[in-house]
A and B are shown apart, each in its own frame.
Chain A
Amino acid sequence: DAKTTQPPSMDCAEGRAANLPCNHSTISGNEYVYWYRQIHSQGPQYIIHGLKNNETNEMASLIITEDRKSSTLILPHATLRDTAVYYCIVSRRNQAGTALIFGKGTTLSVSS
């Protein structure tokens, strides 16, 4: 699977938008971009995924560049409960037996 690069940490004020970048310059045409987050001492939580088009759900928005070499996860109105480690993962979707490989992620700290 292609590797991803994320900043190790970011800060965000409560109520503001949190924009988390991810570089995946070697992504293949059939690989999706997944975002998970992990709150301290819990299992990873799925946030969103996308292939080419921008995606939005109740948790976040995902903006993928036209060349697909980078993406940005947007939490529109960050709250204290959004403090977590955010992982950007590139993987072929729905391939049986393919594990998700986690990098170091970005530690997002939301403060009041």
Chain B
Amino acid sequence: GAVVSQHPSRVICKSGTSVKIECRSLDFQATTMFWYRQFPKKSLMLMATSNEGSKATYEQGVEKDKFLINHASLTLSTLTVTSAHPEDSSFYICSASGTSIHNEQFFGPGTRLTVL
């Protein structure tokens, strides 16, 4: 099956700093990537949908200026959490789909963010 990777797998940062999370499709071209957030004992919540080369579409309640998404190539999308605060601590998961894999979605392993 198609493989999606995320980097880093876990990150700890100080409050007020920015953190960048990468999502890569390793063996297919991802025309669309999705970013989810998951708090402890909760389900995955969709944050935004990004199509290669265009601006991301954010879900209601997700601040676009705080969670910057860039999808500049067909194999890479990045999520930058700007001015992180402890309440941004969460598990961030990306998924990717593409026409070369019939638009099926494949998920990355997730990134655990802890903001001190």
- Verify A94–B95 contact, CB threshold 8 A: no
- Report the interface size for chain B: residues with CB under 8 A from the other chain: 28
Contacts A42-B109, A43-B107, A44-B107 hold; do A96 and B97 have CB atoms under 8 A apart?
A: yes
A94 to chain B, nearest CB (A): 4
- Verify B93–A44 contact, CB threshold 8 A: yes
Return chain A residues, CB-CB under 8 Å to B106.
Answer: 46
- For the A-B complex, the count of residue pairs with Cβ-Cβ distances under 8 Å equals 54
Contacts A44-B107, A46-B1 hold; do A97 and B43 have CB atoms under 8 A apart?
A: no
Q: Does A104 sit within 8 A of B, measured CB to CB? A: yes
A39 to chain B, nearest CB (A): 11
Return chain B residues, CB-CB under 8 Å to A99.
Answer: 34, 46, 49, 95, 105
- Verify B99–A100 contact, CB threshold 8 A: no
Q: Does B103 sit within 8 A of A, measured CB to CB? A: yes
Return chain A residues, CB-CB under 8 Å to B51.
Answer: 97
Q: Does A76 sit within 8 A of B, measured CB to CB? A: no
Q: Does A15 sit within 8 A of B, measured CB to CB? A: no
Q: Does B112 sit within 8 A of A, measured CB to CB? A: yes
21 A-B pairs (CB sep. < 8 Å): A42-B109, A43-B4, A43-B93, A43-B109, A46-B104, A46-B107, A93-B103, A94-B102, A94-B103, A96-B31, A96-B32, A96-B97, A96-B99, A97-B49, A99-B49, A99-B95, A99-B105, A100-B95, A102-B43, A102-B45, A103-B43
